[in-house]
């Protein structure tokens, strides 16, 4: 898996949501104008070949092109003025309430925007580009300099890092309010802390960036975490959902290659619905985009489609089955996939998978060592984050980590 370099940014971040919306509207308007012109050009070309219509067709085309140019220019100018005004208002609001935390809906929209356009936001220094952080109970974990970080109350040496998937944030690990009273909805982090003493930490990151780049940033962040954690000899498990599993795998690979210390403290990596062999949905999107490129009429739509982030495009093929680095060979790898079918062994169920990732892709394995897989039926992709059956499987896997320790003590 390739490794992308993260360049330091010395310039102040540019405007936020208004700037991003202005860019999106104006780019979409330009693509629609190109498609309009391509369709019109073909139509007028046919009319010019008809006897007695060639002259009038040229006159009509000249008038048409002039009117169309004026209309689209007006849309471009008007949208620019409106969004520039919105940016001014946005800036004033930020200055008035700099410490006010955004609501859950705003956070989710922010994460979704990063999932689709995150690489563009980062490349243009847009303040909407999410910086990678670790969080606990909604607050960012402060790791500054060489000083120990302030561990949450009741924390011990056991840590569990949750890594969300594409266009999501840490709130995706929380059951929805409507399902909070259901026996099938579980808060994995809260339960792991109560049942097994693992302090839950949640990663928030820009999921539109290349997976390898996010993996490198996560590797560096976990190195700082264990160096700053006040409890000595800490142990770590990582649970990643969908793209988050691929980011965690990339982090392990890059950290082991770089000789970092945190993989030595990592006991287990659990991937839930991680598309190791790629996502059929993204492969379909790539095929549709390629088909749109064939005709000059639909090429503007293809350019809109190819604007999706590199993070999304990385899901087309996936990294392939995990190849454990010798320096991280002690890590236990666990892969769990879901199926919409009740019978996970049914051919249709394995092909359909959880609706986004097939079972074969989610449970692919090539690791020589401690690796196990599991499948859960009647379960969609996002339900993997809170399902009680998934939690029971996680607990079974994590509890097995203590068995060799108990055996050594008994001996």
Q: What confidence score (pLDDT) does residue 115 get? A: 86
Half-sphere exposure of 336 (CA within 13 A, CB side): 25
Domain range annotation of the chain: 17-100, 133-410
Reported confidence tier of residue 106, pLDDT bands at 50, 70, 90? confident
Which residue in this structure is represented by tokens 């985009």?
A: 289
Distance CA 1, CA 330 (A): 20
Distance CA 236, CA 281 (A): 33
Phi, psi of 15 (to 5 degrees): -60, 160
pLDDT tens by residue, 138-156: 899 988 766 678 778 778 8
pLDDT tens by residue, 332-378: 999 999 999 999 988 877 778 998 899 999 998 766 678 999 999 99
Q: What confidence score (pLDDT) does residue 109 get? A: 80
Distance CA 65, CA 60 (A): 9
Q: At what angle do helices 54-96 and 17-48 cross, to 10 degrees?
A: 180
In order, the DSSP letters of 329-392 are TTSEEEEEEEESSS-TTSHHHHHHTTSSS-HHHHT----SSSEEEEEEES--TGGGGTBHHHHH
Token output for 404: 């060799």
Residue 86 in this model has a pLDDT that exceeds 50: no
Reported confidence tier of residue 89, pLDDT bands at 50, 70, 90? very low
Q: What confidence score (pLDDT) does residue 111 get? A: 86
pLDDT tens by residue, 217-260: 999 999 999 999 988 889 999 999 999 999 999 999 999 999 99
Q: Where are the alpha helices (DSSP H) in 97-180?
A: 104-123
- Of 23-37, 59-73, 198-212, the range with the highest mean pLDDT is 198-212
pLDDT tens by residue, 15-44: 565 666 666 656 665 756 666 567 667 766
Rg (CA), the chain: 25
Rounded to two decimals, the pTM is 0.76
Distance CA 213, CA 211 (A): 5
Distance CA 276, CA 70 (A): 49
pLDDT above 70: percentage of residues in the chain: 66
More reliable by pLDDT, 329 or 259 = 259
Which residue in this structure is represented by tokens 């989710």?
A: 108
Q: Which residues are CB-contacts of 221 (< 8 A; sequence separation ≥ 6)?
A: 132, 134, 203
CB atoms within 10 A of CB 42: 12
Q: Which residues are CB-contacts of 142 (< 8 A; sequence separation ≥ 6)?
A: 149, 150
Phi, psi of 71 (to 5 degrees): -65, -50
Reported confidence tier of residue 300, pLDDT bands at 50, 70, 90? very low
- Of 12-21, 271-280, 388-397, the range with the highest mean pLDDT is 388-397
Instruction: Please identify, in words, the CATH class of the domain defined by 133-410.
Output: alpha beta
Distance CA 39, CA 387 (A): 50
Distance CA 278, CA 188 (A): 26
pLDDT tens by residue, 149-191: 877 877 889 999 999 999 999 999 999 876 545 568 999 999 9
């Amino acid at each position: 898996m390739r490794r992308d370099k993260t360049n330091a940014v010395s310039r102040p971040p540019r405007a936020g949501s208004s700037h991003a919306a202005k860019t999106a509207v104006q780019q979409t308007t330009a693509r629609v104008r190109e498609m309009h012109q391509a369709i019109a050009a073909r139509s007028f070309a046919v009319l010019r070949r008809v006897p007695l219509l060639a002259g009038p067709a040229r006159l009509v085309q000249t008038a048409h092109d002039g009117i169309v140019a004026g209309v689209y220019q007006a849309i471009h100018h008007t949208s620019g003025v409106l969004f520039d005004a919105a940016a001014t208002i946005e800036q004033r609001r930020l200055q008035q309430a700099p410490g006010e935390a955004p609501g859950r809906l705003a956070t989710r929209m922010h994460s979704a925007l990063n999932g689709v356009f995150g690489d563009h936001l980062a490349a243009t220094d847009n303040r909407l580009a999410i910086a990678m952080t670790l969080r606990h109970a909604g607050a960012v974990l402060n790791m500054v300099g060489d000083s120990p970080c302030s561990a949450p109350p009741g924390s011990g040496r056991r840590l569990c890092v949750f890594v969300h998937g594409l266009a999501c944030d840490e709130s995706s690990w929380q059951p929805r309010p409507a399902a909070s009273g259901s026996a099938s909805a579980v808060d994995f982090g809260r339960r792991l802390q109560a049942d097994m003493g693992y302090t839950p930490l949640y990663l928030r990151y820009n999921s539109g960036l290349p997976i390898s780049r996010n993996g490198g940033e996560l590797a560096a962040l976990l190195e700082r975490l264990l160096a700053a954690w006040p409890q000595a000899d800490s142990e770590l498990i990582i649970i990643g959902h969908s793209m988050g599993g691929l980011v965690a795998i990339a982090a392990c690979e890059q950290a082991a290659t770089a000789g970092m210390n945190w993989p030595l403290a990592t006991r287990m990596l659990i991937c839930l619905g991680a598309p190791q062999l790629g996502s059929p949905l993204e492969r379909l999107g790539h095929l549709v985009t390629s088909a749109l490129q064939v005709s000059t009429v639909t090429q503007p739509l293809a350019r809109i489609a190819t604007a999706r982030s590199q993070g999304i495009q990385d899901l087309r093929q996936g990294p392939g089955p995990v190849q454990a680095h010798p320096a991280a060979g002690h890590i236990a790898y666990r892969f769990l996939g879901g199926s919409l079918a009740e019978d996970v062994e049914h051919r249709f169920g394995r092909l359909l998978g959880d609706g986004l990732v097939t079972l074969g892709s989610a449970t692919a394995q090539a690791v020589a060592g401690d690796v196990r897989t599991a499948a859960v039926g009647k379960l969609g992709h996002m339900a993997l984050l809170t399902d009680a059956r998934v939690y029971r499987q996680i607990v079974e896997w994590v509890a097995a980590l203590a068995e060799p320790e108990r055996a050594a003590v008994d001996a």
